[in-house]
Structure 1
Amino acid sequence: MKMLIGGEWKTAASGGEMEVINPATWEKVGVVPQGGQDDVGAAVDAASEACSGWAALPPVERGKILFRTAALVREEVGRLAAMLVAEQGKPLREATDEVRGFAHVLEYYAGLSSSLYGESINTRLYGRIIVEKRPLGVCAGIIPWNMPVMIAGWKIGPALTAGNTMVLKPASTTPLTTLAIGDLFLKAGLPAGVLNIVTGPGETVGEALVTHPEVRKVSFTGEIGTGRHVAETAAQTMKHVSLELGGSDPMIVCDDADLEVAAAGAAAGRFYNCGQTCTAVKRVYVFSEVAERFRELLTEKTRAFTIGNGMEKRVRMGPLNNAAGLERIEAVVEDVRDEAEILTGGTRPEGKGFFYEPTLLAGLPADAPVLSEEVFGPVLPVVEVEDLDEAVEAANSTRYGLGASIWTKDLGRAERGCQDLEAGIVWVNQHIKVPPETPFGGVKWSGTGRENGVHALERYTEEKALLIRP
């Protein structure tokens, strides 16, 4: 496959290529260009040239193109989902849901396209004040490998609806489905240059996007270290920046919770996408009165997970996406093996693929890194607490603040959890779901800005004030 630049499919200026590997089989499933600074320059030039025409198009007309793209994605969902399984590793059901979710996001923003209003204020002293909301211009979207299709939608949808153009950089291990969707945008009638997709390493393609003077906004999803670098670098040219930098999401299980439902929620919320989800349940705090029963239920549900190639029937968990991720998970478990109780899992199956068994840990010391840092894989620690005060204090004791959940039948406890948990999103008796209407992002070191909802749409615009005296 080739890169999408200015409505045309192109190879890298350097001629370099990158292989895409199936994480379940280690087989090559595709080859894409290894783009660089010259390719980014060409893409930004194309996006800049397309800016005025796209912004001048009535918002409803822009929405129609998004609606048509969404329809084409739904028609191709089988092909796109299989492609996503091959490059990312997740089970086919999850991949299908993600592709459909992308279409849903486009439909949501297309529906908002007729609601892009400014403000008009009449004053006696100064006359009429008009506040316009104008597109920023060329925006850059840098997407990760864990949810590459959905997160692409979170960035493309509001950016294009608001009248911006975009240069998108997919992760090097998962570019194929994003490129295929780019082709569907063209078939839906998207003008050349409005959406460009440049493949290549972050240190070259990503860096070139963040430093390019004509890029007005960078929306980045990834880990903290890279996010800090993006923020520092983008500040040199006064870019708008939104950062979603992951989390160490706590789940609190109170003594009045439905333990069967909570255990199922913990297993699904942790081992979905092999635990490689920013909003996944990363640690569980359960009241001591019900801890033993909860661990039994959670262990039973975790052992029921079938792992394997995502295209195989009845597989509930695929491999980790890459070798580095597998090595990190192995290191996490080895670091606590001598002091923790491993309730289930804790080993890597023999054979090909970046597989690791879904793993539950108990009896950890309070200062164990697995309880404070983001663990991006199928490992879940379970910690006993005496009451809600202790649970909330422990839940808030990290630098992260992306998501959190509280499981209880008590409305007062639920309300307190929503108020006191330091997170950008708090769920009650559920976890991990983020519909497109919901503003999504973190507090503390989990990032700045928001994806989704009208809140994301507004962040792809800037206000211009007009004062008119008759």
Structure 2
Amino acid sequence: MSDGRRTTIDGVSVPCDHLIDGERVGGGELYAVRSPVDGSHLGDIPDGNAAVVDSAVAAARRAFPEWAALGPDGRGDILDRFAQAILDRAQDLVMVDTADNGSVRAAMLHVGTGRSAHNVKFFADLARTLEHPPIEGPVADNSVRYDPSGVAALIVPWNAPLMLGTWKIGPALAAGCAVVVKPPEWAPFSLSLLGEIATEAGLPPGVLNIVHGVGERTGAALVSHPDVDRISFTGSPDTARAIAMAAARNLTPLSFELGGKSPFIVFDDADLELAVRTAAAQFMNAGQVCLAGTRLLVQDTIADRFTDALRDATSKLVVGDPRVEGTNIGPLIHPEHFERVAGFVERALASGAKPLVGGKPSALGGSWFEPTILTGVEQSSEIVQQEVFGPVLTLQTFSTEDEVIELANGTEYGLAATLFTGDEARAERVAAQIVAGTVWINCFYVRDLAAPFGGSRRSGVGREGGIWSFDFFCDVKNVAVRRSSFTS
């Protein structure tokens, strides 16, 4: 039970308040957070106001000079301890994350915490070796510096708070920024616990600050703050527009990773078994994955075989309690989001779509929704054009390469695409023509941290990952020295 400052979630004691300058502080009216798994009361979180945000940004500003002055090696030593501490507390983080947002516990134990630690360790290591080759000009020699930019505001979504939080925190801290993190209001506790882990690992006070609250109040105060130097946001295009307008007043640089409506293309020369197995994996995290290939585009010559095999594979997915071994699909995050997903499906069915599988809420009740595949959909329909963010796929067929490229590019999004074919030349041709930040060929969800990541069109602004993260979180400076200008 919550004691006003801490709460206990599945046996794990978790701080509830803001983390500012190394101290837990209140500030703002409390609101209740409930688990999507069983509706239980997890604890009360303060809805941070402008004064709280001011305090957090000021703490980050004070801590920044010393943190930046440590250099990549000094910061890296501390971040290495932080990464190891994440691994040491993996069980606790998984328990909290599952209760907080309904993620499947086995998947988090297998992948989630390891990836979260890697998000920190990788960028700490990269910062130690980061350098740009010298640029020799006709008059002067140029060298490139990656100088820490200052205070970074990091706004994290609710679908994978621990992994996506560390995806932002790792490179920002490695670059030398001090950060203010706003966890998602529907799933705040894993990042609140992460702040405690960072403090125990030796991160100096004020370098990592956490402010809780809802986007319209806490988030708005953070992104409009004049002392914030960078804003990294993952979420919806509508929220991104509001952030961009607020940031424009201060000319604050932005990095946005937004929604997706990604195509999943299967040609008739593909490894059908692999393609079907991967298509069924698009239901992971109850479909609450921006990268998911939710638009299945299957060549008509294999459509019947693919459809039969996918129906069979989907029928074997276990919808249930994410805390139980063997569960594949847990609940949607919140009753409000459940109603949104259900509304998309209801409208699609009313417009003539046919359920290959699913198409309705699960018999489990609560916020569970059956894995759903809809056929008979038009390219212009809402269900094809808009991000549902639930366990809902559509299936369309195509005849030619040109046709599938037109279908794949036929939305306002451009986050990712997945392509299955046995023809290497075709894979290269199609990948070159698809509008997307990432194209996977005969694989899915391969995220090398050295590679750039981001979206095109409504799916994002900018790229992070690898050196692109440092391009964003640093002030990239050129130093030009005239040859033979020094006598000693």
Q: TM-score interval w.r.t. the shorter chain?
A: over 0.9
Contact 1:88 1:321 (8 Å CA) reproduced: yes
Contact 1:144 1:170 (8 Å CA) reproduced: yes
Letter of the 1:361 partner, please give it.
Answer: L
Show the counterpart of 1:202. Answer: 215
Decide which of 361, 371, 382 is 2:395's aligned counterpart: 382
Contact 2:103 2:285 (8 Å CA) reproduced: yes
Show the counterpart of 1:102. Answer: 116
SS of 1:353's partner is coil
> Is residue 453 of structure 2 the alignment partner of residue 440 of structure 1?
yes
Decide which of 156, 163, 169 is 1:150's aligned counterpart: 163
> Is residue 148 of structure 2 the alignment partner of residue 117 of structure 1?
no
Percent of residue pairs bearing the same amino acid type? 38
Runs of 4+ in 1 over 6 A off after TM superposition: none
2: CA distance, partners of 1:384 / 1:131: 50
Summarize the alignment of residues 107-256 of structure 1 with structure 2, pairs less than 5 Å apart. 107-117=121-131, 120-121=134-135, 125=139, 127-256=140-269
TM-score by length of 2: 0.93
Summarize the alignment of residues 51-66 of structure 1 with structure 2, pairs less than 5 Å apart. 51-66=64-79
Letter of the 1:279 partner, please give it.
Answer: L
Summarize the alignment of residues 254-273 of structure 1 with structure 2, pairs less than 5 Å apart. 254-268=267-281, 270-273=282-285
Superposed displacement of residue 120, structure 1: 4.9
Contact 2:379 2:385 (8 Å CA) reproduced: no
Superposed displacement of residue 118, structure 1: 5.5
SS of 1:39's partner is helix
Show the counterpart of 1:300. Answer: 312
Name the stretch that deviates more: 445-454 or 188-197.
445-454
Name the stretch that deviates more: 324-333 or 249-258.
324-333
Change (3 A) 1:361 1:133: same
Superposed displacement of residue 350, structure 1: 3.9
Change (3 A) 1:8 1:267: same
Contact 2:348 2:382 (8 Å CA) reproduced: no
1: CA distance, partners of 2:191 / 2:144: 36
1: CA distance, partners of 2:338 / 2:151: 36
1: CA distance, partners of 2:175 / 2:475: 10
Letter of the 1:248 partner, please give it.
Answer: K
1: CA distance, partners of 2:478 / 2:125: 26
Decide which of 8, 18, 21 is 2:31's aligned counterpart: 18
Letter of the 1:177 partner, please give it.
Answer: S
Superposed displacement of residue 282, structure 1: 1.1
Change (3 A) 1:349 1:118: closer
Decide which of 274, 287, 293 is 2:299's aligned counterpart: 287
What CA deviation, in whole Å up to 9, does each residue of 1:37-70 have, x standing for no partner?
A: 1110000000000010000002111111111111
Unpaired runs of at least 5, structure 1: none
Superposed displacement of residue 123, structure 1: 5.2
Change (3 A) 1:290 1:351: closer
Decide which of 368, 372, 376 is 1:355's aligned counterpart: 368
Change (3 A) 1:41 1:389: same
Letter of the 1:395 partner, please give it.
Answer: A
Contact 1:3 1:11 (8 Å CA) reproduced: yes
SS of 2:209's partner is strand
SS of 2:410's partner is coil
Superposed displacement of residue 313, structure 1: 1.9
Contact 1:26 1:352 (8 Å CA) reproduced: no
Superposed displacement of residue 368, structure 1: 1.4
2: CA distance, partners of 1:427 / 1:148: 24
1: CA distance, partners of 2:135 / 2:345: 60
Summarize the alignment of residues 368-407 of structure 1 with structure 2, pairs less than 5 Å apart. 368-407=381-420
2: CA distance, partners of 1:234 / 1:128: 36
TM-score by length of 1: 0.96
Change (3 A) 1:379 1:44: same
2: CA distance, partners of 1:366 / 1:116: 45
Change (3 A) 1:364 1:130: closer
Letter of the 1:427 partner, please give it.
Answer: W
Summarize the alignment of residues 410-421 of structure 1 with structure 2, pairs less than 5 Å apart. 410-421=423-434
1: CA distance, partners of 2:342 / 2:358: 11
What CA deviation, in whole Å up to 9, does each residue of 1:112-146 have, x standing for no partner?
A: 12123366556564x55443221110010001000
1: CA distance, partners of 2:43 / 2:120: 26
> Is residue 335 of structure 2 the alignment partner of residue 323 of structure 1?
yes
> Is residue 322 of structure 2 the alignment partner of residue 310 of structure 1?
yes
SS of 2:249's partner is helix
SS of 1:140's partner is strand
1: CA distance, partners of 2:134 / 2:359: 61
Contact 1:40 1:209 (8 Å CA) reproduced: yes
1: CA distance, partners of 2:451 / 2:319: 31
Unpaired runs of at least 5, structure 2: 1-15
Contact 2:419 2:427 (8 Å CA) reproduced: yes
1: CA distance, partners of 2:57 / 2:439: 37
2: CA distance, partners of 1:208 / 1:383: 43
2: CA distance, partners of 1:283 / 1:290: 16
2: CA distance, partners of 1:123 / 1:411: 40
What CA deviation, in whole Å up to 9, does each residue of 1:271-327 have, x standing for no partner?
A: 000000010111110000000110111111111111111101211100000112111
What CA deviation, in whole Å up to 9, does each residue of 1:72-111 have, x standing for no partner?
A: 1111111110110001001112222222211011111121
SS of 2:229's partner is strand
Superposed displacement of residue 364, structure 1: 1.3
Show the counterpart of 2:13. Answer: none
